Amino acid sequence: MSEVVLTPSSVTRVRRHPERANYRRDTIYGILDEGLICHLGFVAQGRPWVMPAMYARKRDFIYVHGSPSSRMLKTSASGVKICLTVSLLDGLVLARSVFNHSMNYRSVVVSGRAQLVTDVDEKMVAFQALVDQVIKGRWEDARHPTQKELKATKVLRLDLKDASAKVRQGPPLDPSADQVLRIWAGEIPLRVRPDPPIPAPDLPAGIPTPDYAEHYRR
């Protein structure tokens, strides 16, 4: 089976450091599946805005949810073009010169027009995807949304057909003239590492911590 490669548009084509571009669908989806927070860019009342939001990928779509009164969601549902980004920081890159310091990262840019999800069944699918994005296994344990809660939440769907990834990995790229300098150079890897879960103060005695919380990891 051949690898699916997305064709970048004028918006999602990587121009700065094009050697770091990645248009493979599995790479793009992998970054999206690991992330927790996206940033959604849009223009409202003549002003640009970039807002953080929780998101989830389900098949070839991204779901974003929030209050019906949210300016971000109301504007994005109106048919305007929006831009959604996700970034994962993997490490600090210390070169011998300040100029060549960098970071190792994986990022995704998605461009398009979002659609408002009105179908109740699809909204429930989106809710499950949002929970699974954060912590797998929680959907089966927790109470599911009521009809009232569904009506009080707006859900948007964004197609992933116009998306690209940009990835920087590896050590510093010092020029040969700097490599002789007696200055430490290298990488400082970074990762998300959870602390032990803390039970709610009103949790009744005898309820064990679920495995997905006890051993949570990204």
Q: Round to whole Å and give the CA distance between 76 and 83.
A: 10
Domain-embedded: residue 134? yes
Rounded average pLDDT over 106-134? 97
The three-class DSSP label of residue 142 is coil
The CA distances from residue 132 to 22, 207, 212, in Å, are 26, 22, 11
User: For residue 44, is it within any domain?
Assistant: yes
Residue 7 located in a structural domain: no
| 8 Å CB contact between 130 and 75 | no
Please give the structure tokens belonging to residue 126: 């989106």
Q: Is residue 90 pLDDT above 80, yes or no?
A: yes
pLDDT in tens, 6-29: 999 999 999 999 999 999 999 999
Please check whether residue 214 lies inside any domain of the structure: no
Range of the domain at 60: 18-187
pTM, two decimal places: 0.94
Residue 51 banded pLDDT, cuts 50, 70, 90:
very high
> Domain containing 120 — which CATH number?
2.30.110.10
Name the domain count of the chain: 1
- Return the bridge partners of 66, or none: 154
